Structure 1
Amino acid sequence: MKRLLIPLLASATFLWAACTSNESSPVTSAPAQPAAEEAHQHGAHTEHGNTQQPAAEQAYACPMHPDVTSDKPGTCPKCGMTLVRTTNTATPSYQMNVAFTPAQLTAGKPITMSFRPQATNNAEAQVPLAVVHEKKMHLIIVSQDLSEFYHEHPELQASGRYEVPFTFKTGGPYVLYQDYQPEGSSHQLARQEVTVAGPRKPAFQFRNEQLRWQQNGYQAVLSFDKPTSVGQPTTVSVQVSRNGQPVTDLDNYLGAKGHMVVISQNTEQYLHVHPQEARSSAGSAIGFNSAFEQPGIYRVFLQFKHAGQVQTADFTLNVVTATT
């Protein structure tokens, strides 16, 4: 384990949660995938856009990692979450119903995004969602070239749908991800591609690795305990400073000191980094190991809050093919 370089922060484990989606339908009912981190590395398979999980064989499982099971209470060795008693023998399958008002997406014009998670075996039944990092749904919006990133939180309405207002800045293709957890089930990820009318800006092609970010007087630096390569566990470290001085008093943002989303250049590999509760004395932090499944360029988006303001740092990471 390598200690994170965020100075004097409460211990925060960053769990790299990998999810892949084959779904690309624009706004129709969108099959959701379990964002069961590393699910496809542990026997899950994809069928018609849904990731199928193997039946649970034990009485307790990690809500974040369904592959971690036990016959007695305990904590997950991957993320430290408390194992919960399982009531179903298999993970249900879900899909996301998506709608926009107005239906035409146009740059510069406000819209309302509306989402309704559905169980595939009972589309009419309401699907209660658990609160994860202070919200029931996390909506990630990126331009297809990954030069734009937005993190929104649709709220439950009396209609049973989760809604959020939004305005696209420019025209062109975008990708939407909904990260959520039905009560009693594992994390899910839905993905849609949409096209926004209006003036477009030239698409940017990220090619070079960039692990430093600087804006608004802040600087954030990413480092890893080893070169990032396919299939090799890595530990990420983050160092945040302001005006050249280490930041020692980050505010909690959504119940944690930081949040990170990692998306592959083709937008099909999605990794959500979940911070964990403090595990050691003040001033230290723990990095958590994970592995990338595909080589290539990834965009990394780190959000942290300081002095009452949320900052969004972006990086570019190159994952190489493992050598023998």
Structure 2
Amino acid sequence: MAETQPKGAAPRPVFKGAVSPKSRLQRWADSDIWYSFKRSPVTIVATTVFVLLIAGAVLAPLLSPYTPFDPGSLNLMNGFTEPMAANAFTGDYFLLGTDDQGRDVLSTILFGLRISLFVGITAVLFAMTLGITLGLIAGYIGGWLDGLIMRIADIQLTFPSIMVAMLLYGIGKGLIPPALRDEMAIWVLIVSIGLSEWVQFARTVRGATLVEREKEYVQAAHLIGLSKWSIMLRHILPNVAGPILVIATISLALAIIAEATLSFLGVGAPKTQPSLGTLINVGRQFILSGEWWILLFPSLTLLALALSVNLLGDWLRDVLNPKLR
């Protein structure tokens, strides 16, 4: 006999099948970030350019047609070959021409791009680590530590960051023995740029921490006996990650430009490990004699790299800030 439902009772729900949870890829496809990215052609182009430059730098040993910094593979007879032309003496073909030493400009750009990106990314990671740590301490612990850290930051902000980086680079190289200066030049450059860029991270994290530490979840974590470092790193830091990501993206462009500026002035990457700035400095010496390609192509590469990163930073700032939507 069929079971009858009591009169007046609510109808029983009929389950047609459990709904499977969405995967991470599906959640990403439904997110506001992906929706904003798809509707921004400028961001798509900037991302494409940035990814291509990253791929060119990573795969430089495989993509470069020549080994530009191996003295044994250079031929001075190939010097000053124009772009998309064969050398009159050797018959070798170079897509972007050669410099005064017969080095293929395309190959030098790919290898120089590796140095510029390595210095820029590593310097930003160092500045981000230092700035986040000091910002969390200043905002959560407060007191005289807050005053000391913020006064140091205020003093540093009164000087241009490139001047601070140049001063720190000079001091760092002076402390290194002469025999190790060329080997340590890249790391001194990274530390110098990182120490000149930490202030923005520290000030942003401090301001966000001052707001977050008054919220109930932080007070609850304090009541159950979690340590200050555990609260700062496990609870406060994830809630201030959005602004940090935006600043990191913009700082990457600034770090790359700072490295190129220092190398252009002759106080950055050594000639044995040339970056884009070093290549631009080399090309500047021949611009008046008509060898325009030695300067033009590294400059365009640096421009494309810095512009694409800046455009990505602007897009992240807009999409992660609810007030700008």
TM-score normalised to structure 1 length: 0.25
Question: Greater helix share, 1 or 2?
Answer: 2
Q: Per residue, is there more strand in 1 or in 2?
A: 1
Report which of the two structures shows the higher radius of gyration computed on alpha carbons: 2
